[in-house]
Structures are given as C-alpha cells and as structure tokens.
Amino acid sequence: MESIALRREQQTAAEPATGAEPSYAPTVQSQGGAPPQFALYLRRWLALNRSGLRAVLIGAISLALFLLAWHLLTEYRVVFFVRFTNVPSPSAVYESLTRAMHDSTFFMHVILSCRRILFGFSLAALIAVPLGLVMGRFRLAHEILFPITEVLRPIPAIAWVPMAIMLWPTNEQSIIYITFLGSFFPILVNTLHGMSLVDPVLVRAAQCLGAREMSIFREVYFPASLPHIFTGLTVGMGVAWVSLIAAEMISGQFGIGYFTWEAYSLVQYADIALGMICIGVLGLGSSALIRGFGRLVMPWSRT
Amino acid sequence: MSVMTPDPPSKGRIDVDNFALSYDTLEGPVEAVCNASIHVNPGEFVSIVGPSGCGKSTLLNAVAGFLKPTKGGVTVDGEAVDGPGADRGMVFQQYSLFPWKTVKGNVEFGLKMKHLDKSSRDRAARTLLGLAGLTAFENKYPDSLSGGMKQRVGIVRALATGPKVLLLDEPFGALDAQTRVIMQQILTNMWQRLKISVLFVTHDIDEAIFLSDRVYCMTARPGAIKAEITIPLERPRHQSMMMSSEFLGLRRGLMSLIREESIKAMGGELNDLALDGLSIDLHGQSLADVL
Ligand SMILES: Nc1ncnc2c1ncn2[C@@H]1O[C@H](COP(=O)(O)OP(=O)(O)O)[C@@H](O)[C@H]1O
Ligand SMILES: [Mg+2]
C-alpha cells in the first residue's frame, strides 16, 4: 500500500518535471509578439522531440545504406553462398515501378488484393469480436465454443486452401475465406484475453451505480477490452496479408501475390521485387490505419 | 447523534444482525466473519476498524450486496439486501474509476443508468464536481489525475445517484497523510450537506475517531464486534481536536483494543513489549505528519 502511494507521488512529481518549460522560456515570452512565440514553440518542440528526430534521422541513413548495399550487391552480381546474379537492382525496380504506374493491370492487382483483405478482414472482425465478447462474458458459450476454436486455431490458413476450394463455389470466395481464417483467430484470442483481464472491481463499481447486465457489457466489458481487441486487429491484419498472398500465389488469378508469382514465371525479375515492396507497403499502411482508428476510438489511452 | 440538522434524515438505516460469512476454499470453509451485529442510523457516520484480514471488507461487501451472508441478515431501511444497487453507493480503495470515461463521464454514469436525459445529467454532474472542487478537471481522463483527485471523483460518482447510504472501503488507504486529511474534510463536508448515512471501513484509528459518530472495533478473524465506541466530539470537527485530551483518550482506548487483536491476527507470537515500542514510534510519526 505504501509502495502504491509512493509510486503515485513519484508520478505526479515527474509530470511537472517533463512538462516544465526551459529556463529561457519566460524571458522570451515577456518580449511578446507573434514571431518570437512561434520561434519559442519551435524550439520547445525541437527540444521535446529530440529523441524522435534522432530516430528519424538515423532511420533514414540506415535505409539509404540498405539501398546502397542492395545496389552494390546486384551491380557486381555478388555470389557468396547467396546468388545475386538474377536479383534486380534498385534502379531496375524503380523502372518497373514507373512502368507499372502507367499500367492499369498493376492497379487492378493491387485493388483486388485490397478488396479481398477488406472483405476477409472485416468479416473476421465482425464475427470474432462479438464472439470473443460473448465467450468472455458467458461461461456456457465459452465452454461450448472454446474447444472447437482451440482445435481449429493451430491449422494455418494456408492448409485450408484445398478445403476452401471444395467449400466455396468461386475462387474469389475461397481466397476471401482464407484471408478471413487468417485474421479470425488472432482477433478472437486477443478479445478473449482482454475480457479475462477486465478488472472485477470496475464491474462492481458499475453494479453499485445501478448498471444491469447489458449496460455492464456495453459500458465496462467492451471498453475495457478495447485495447486488446485492437492488438488482435493489428495482429489479425498482419496474418490476413500473409494468408492472402499465399492463397493468391497458390490458387489465385489476379491480386498482388499472383502478380509477384507470375513475374517469376514470366522471368520479369524486377517485378518480383516490385510486388514484394508493394505487399510490404500495403501491410504497413493497413496496420497504420488500424492504429489510427484505435487512437480515435480510445482517446483515453493517449496521454 | 451529534448531527446538526433541524430535521433528521429518515432514510438510510443499515442493520446487520448476527451476520456470519465463510468462504469456500480447498481447505474447507474459511470463516471470515462470525456473529457480527452492527447498525447505522439514518444520517449517521459509522466506522469499522480492525486489524488487517479481520473481515471488514467482507462485511461491507455484504452490505453492498456482492456477498450473501452464510448466517444472519443485512437490511437497509428494513428491506433485505439482495444484490448490488444504486441505493447503496460504494467507494473502493483502488479508486476504480472507468479509465475510458472522463471525470464527468464517470460521475454521470449512475445517472445514465437511471436513464436521465443528457442535459440534466450534465447539470447534476457539474454541480457535484463543483462541490468537490473538480470543475477544472471534468474533461480529463482518470489516468491523468492524482490519487486524491481520483478518490474525490470516486466519492462524487457514488453520491451522484443520490444513494441512501455510502459505503467506503479504506478509501484513503493509498493516499499520503496530507492528502488524506484534506479528503477527510471533503468527505465530512459532503456528508453533512447530503445528510446521508455512511459506513466507513478503515484500519486508521485517528481517521475513524476524527470522522465518526460511532466506531465498531472488530476482533481478529473470524471477525466479530469486539467493542462499540461512541465518539462524543462535537461537530464541526477541526484538525486541532486531534490533540485534545478527549481525542487522545479515545485513541488510547481504541489502540489497545486493536493491538490485542492485531497480535492475535499475526499469530500471537510477537513480544508485546517490542510491539509496544513500535506502535508508540509509529504514532509519533503519523501524528507529526498529520499536523
Ligand atoms: N475470496 C476469498 N476466499 C477465501 N478467503 C477469503 C476470501 N476473501 C477474503 N478471505 C479471507 O477472509 C478474511 C477477511 O477478509 P477481508 O474481509 O478482506 O478482511 P479485511 O478487509 O478486514 O482486511 C481474510 O482472512 C481473508 O484471507
Ligand atoms: Mg479490506
């Protein structure tokens, strides 16, 4: 108990310290006027974000070095266990990117993949989140459904490909189904985890304030689990891409995974790297989208 | 008792009769409280003190409706307690504010559950927050508040629904001494304004005497009521009273009652003399902090 009190004191003591203005702040402020104010903010911003800026700078240098290494390895066709003889150089990839920019089929591949992700992932989120909430709240639902999910969960989505082709009438549907499966379990498991961590004291507090079952569900269990739900969504989005690309490579027509695989068959090696980079960027973008959405719906977790 | 109101409040009577509760464990039932009887008159401020683990929280949770007594009964205004409800507000030691709601959102919660419309919720919450000096923080999230502020919000939230009784389980246990004194004053003020019955659990003897009209002292587990002490100090009470001979006399009495039970609770193997020295030391320190 004493340690809690101590910790709190330290926290409150630390807050003003980090938020404290630099000692030169008052003298600059006293001069008044808009331009010094702006300069002051800029300087403060720089001071507060120094470590962030440093990370950005070093990150940029590191990426540039990576590009350089790639360039040199492919330029001199290095063979040292790994063979770079056929690997496209960065400039070749850039070339094929500019070509792809004027080519509607490339965009069609990208858009088709995004659509599959959108359908598969949204469906998974719309089913797994409510299911996790219900399983977390009602013991009977948990007891009935948990064994089934535990048996199905270790099966990688890719292993479902033949089965999916049999289950669904069209290729498109089976690819969406694979994507759905890939993201379903991470979302479900994380939602369940979030539900299991809900502080029972908060539930009691709500009951003492007159909340009934539905209100407790909506006002306590759901928001309390949201951070874990979003962890699940982020992980699920990653697995959705993994599953989608694999499914497209195996059974696909169209899609960025298919594009990448086809580039290999057609001996257009630069397009392989282009497809890979494109997949990376799409994955990055979609998780950033989820993170942003998470920040929007959980304003309390941002300090 | 010494409540200075022209018309004494008529609601908020708590009766706990021959109360016993045991927890089922692997080692068999653990009797937490046995044969405890307490009552709180409408508008009265009553504290329960006792050594750690004696069953104070168990008793309070039964009044709140979270636990069912194994034996005996709990009634509020003659009605048997059956589950938690908004007629009994509760304040927890761990603050237990909803982190996803702002200060105002937390205070409005109970009113929302009562299906009050938005504007009257807003008005009620603002009034109460003003009383507790929290207006400037109404749009903050709990994580950015200090412990004392959090607990003020906790108290305001519990009072917002207009409960008949307020139950507090060591609400100031995690606060530093200075903050605790301020919180005690705030609680006293709110209690006097709202004329509500209060059942207050603490292990801090000074706190119990300073706040209460009556104090129940519990025995070590299984907890029973060892003594009931009326606090005749006049109201309004001030910090300076804690130095009065009357206060110190009450304190000495309660201290010796508790010490016996604490030794029992710790296994009764400690050297009484050493413990005596220890408690005097602690006493000097805590009193110095308070003043
Ligand atoms: N859920 C439980 N299961 C078993 N024993 C419990 C449980 N809760 C409390 N106890 C026991 O009951 C006794 C009283 O607990 P509690 O009411 O929390 O004491 P206090 O609040 O006075 O410290 C303690 O000895 C504790 O170990
Ligand atoms: Mg307790």
DSSP B87-129: TEEEE-TT----TTS-HHHHHHHHHHHTT--HHHHHHHHHHHH
Instruction: Report the pLDDT averaged over residues A55-77.
Output: 95
pLDDT(A216) > 80: yes
Instruction: Report the pLDDT averaged over residues B63-67.
Output: 96
**pLDDT band, residue B211 (cuts 50/70/90):** very high
**pLDDT band, residue A301 (cuts 50/70/90):** confident
B5 domain residue, yes or no: no
What ligand 1 atom has the least distance to the C-alpha of B218? 22
Domain termination residue (choose one: A35, A65, A82): A82
Q: What residues make up the domain containing A66? A: 47-82
- Sheet bearing B79-80, strands edge to edge: B28-40, B14-25, B71-76, B79-80
Nearest CA to ligand 1 atom 11: B32
- Report d(CA A222, CA A211) in Å as an integer: 14
At residue B7, the pLDDT reads 61
A5 domain residue, yes or no: no
Both tokens of residue B239?
A: 């910090």
What ligand 1 atom has the least distance to the C-alpha of B50? 22
Both tokens of residue B203?
A: 């292990």
Nearest CA to ligand 1 atom 24: B53
Nearest CA to ligand 1 atom 16: B55
B193 domain residue, yes or no: yes
A73 domain residue, yes or no: yes
Q: What is the pTM of this model?
A: 0.82
**Closest C-alpha to B180, from A265, A133, B188, B119:** B188
pLDDT(A252) > 80: no
Instruction: Report the pLDDT averaged over residues A167-177.
Output: 94
Q: Report the CATH number at residue A202.
A: 1.10.3720.10
- B142's CB contacts (< 8 A; 6+ apart) are A300, B95, B97, B98, B99, B101, B103, B106, B150, B153
A99 and A147 together in one domain: yes
How many domains are there within chain A?
Answer: 2
B153 domain residue, yes or no: no
Contact A178, A244 (CB under 8 A): yes
A26 domain residue, yes or no: no
A122 and A225 together in one domain: yes
A196 domain residue, yes or no: yes
d(CA B15, nearest CA chain A) in Å: 19
- Of A26-40, A148-162, B125-139, B227-241, where does mean pLDDT reach its minimum? A26-40
Write the DSSP symbol of residue A218: I
B173 domain residue, yes or no: yes
- A46's CB contacts (< 8 A; 6+ apart) are A53
Q: Are B147 and A226 inside 8 Å of each other by CB?
A: no
At residue B239, the pLDDT reads 86
Interface test with B, best of A197, A209, A212 (most B CBs within 10 A): A209
Instruction: Report the pLDDT averaged over residues A2-28.
Output: 43
Q: What residues make up the domain containing B51? A: 14-87+163-290
A96 and A78 together in one domain: no
**pLDDT band, residue A214 (cuts 50/70/90):** very high
A40 domain residue, yes or no: no
Residue type, B94: Q
Residue in B25, B26, B52, B54 to alter for ligand 1 test, most ligand atoms within 8 A of Cβ: B54
- From chain A, the residues in CB contact with B143 under 8 A are 300, 303
**Closest C-alpha to B223, from B51, B16, B72:** B51
A218 and A254 together in one domain: yes
A125 and A257 together in one domain: yes
At residue A34, the pLDDT reads 61
Instruction: Report the pLDDT averaged over residues B156-160.
Output: 94
Q: Are B96 and A201 inside 8 Å of each other by CB?
A: yes
Q: Report the CATH number at residue B256.
A: 3.40.50.300
At residue B221, the pLDDT reads 81
- Of A29-38, A67-76, A91-100, B232-241, where does mean pLDDT reach its minimum? A29-38
At residue A19, the pLDDT reads 41
How many domains are there within chain B?
Answer: 1
A105 domain residue, yes or no: yes
pLDDT(A10) > 90: no
B148 domain residue, yes or no: no
A32 domain residue, yes or no: no
**Closest C-alpha to B142, from A223, A293, A301:** A301
Q: Tell me the ligand closest to B48's alpha carbon.
A: 1
Q: How many CB atoms lie under 10 A from the CB of residue B150?
A: 22
- Report d(CA A125, CA A103) in Å as an integer: 33
Q: Tell me the ligand closest to B66's alpha carbon.
A: 1
Separation of CA B224 and ligand 1 centre (Å) = 14
At residue B265, the pLDDT reads 74
Q: Are B98 and A223 inside 8 Å of each other by CB?
A: yes
